[in-house]
Each structure stands twice: as structure tokens, then as C-alpha cells.
Amino acid sequence: MELNTIKPSEGSKHAKRRVGRGIGSGLGKTAGRGHKGQKSRSGGYHKVGFEGGQMPLQRRLPKRGFKSAQLQFNAEVTLADIQALEVAEVDMLVLKQAGLVPHLAKRVKVIKTGEITRAVAFKSVGATAGAKAAIEAAGGSLV
């Protein structure tokens, strides 16, 4: 292969559509723009969602919901994740280093998904009622 022999693959390139070049082209006269109106004119443009002055859909519908900015600082970790983590003492730093919670996290809660069979001590980590019972049943503790 040489640089002067490289060609684009078959069918990947095609000529640009030339509009307004006479009847025979099939795109003469109005050049595919229809008759009159804003969209037929050069520079004719309206913003996304504009409905010709009618109240736009995004303003007709009621505002709904709220997502707290504080959610990015909360994180969850499952019992199955803890079981896979081969440490006897779990705190925020261990979870962050293992990649189980994001570095932005300030509060972590253990949720009861999966099983835990060994004793693990948790420091400054919250837990749901079900997860707490499972941890203590396996001989672990929450501090």
C-alpha cells in the first residue's frame, strides 16, 4: 500500500446535493424549500422548541420534581461488595481506595444486598437495619 493509492471505501463518499440549478436537476426553482414562509428564506431560523408564538410544550407542562445537589456526597455499598473486599476493618478510606464509593462521598451506608459470612468491623459507616443485623450475625460490629 502506498499513500498515493489509498482511496475511501466504495459508497462512503458522494457528491454534495446542488440545489437551485434548474428544472432538470429536480431541485430547481424553490430548491426543496417549498413556497414562502420563514423557512424558505435565507437566514430563516427559529430556536429549538419555538412553536410560532404558541406557548411551547416545555412551558405548558408543570414543573415537577427536585434532585438535591447533596446526593452526590451520599454513597451506598452492598454486603456482597464488603464480602469480596478482603479486609477486617472497613472505613471510608478503604472503600474509596477499593473504588466502591466515589471520592466525593462524605457519607456511606451499607445496604443488605448479598451475604456476609465473616466478621468485619465498620468505622464511621452507616448501615440499614437489615444490613446491621446481618453484620452482627456474622460477628462484625458497627462503630
pLDDT of 110 above 90: yes
Predicted local confidence at residue 125, as pLDDT? 95
Domains, the chain, with CATH or none = 71-142 (3.100.10.10)
Q: Which helix (H) or strand (E) holds 135?
A: helix 129-137
Encode pLDDT of 55-74 as tens digits: 999 999 999 999 999 999 99
Please state the pTM of the whole predicted model.
0.56
Cell of 139: 460477628
Predicted local confidence at residue 66, as pLDDT? 95
Give residue 45's pLDDT band: very low, low, confident or very high (50, 70, 90). confident
CB 83 within 8 A of CB 114: yes
Predicted local confidence at residue 1, as pLDDT? 83
Dump strand ranges (E) for the chain: 74-78, 89-90, 107-111, 121-122, 126-127, 141-142
Looking at residues 77-88, what average pLDDT do you find? 94
Predicted local confidence at residue 91, as pLDDT? 94
Nearest in space to 104 (alpha carbons), one of 114, 113, 96? 96
Looking at residues 104-129, what average pLDDT do you find? 95
Distances in Å between the Cα of 108 and the Cα atoms of 9, 11, 71, 101 are 53, 55, 11, 8
Looking at residues 116-140, what average pLDDT do you find? 95
pLDDT of 95 above 90: yes
CB 27 within 8 A of CB 18: yes
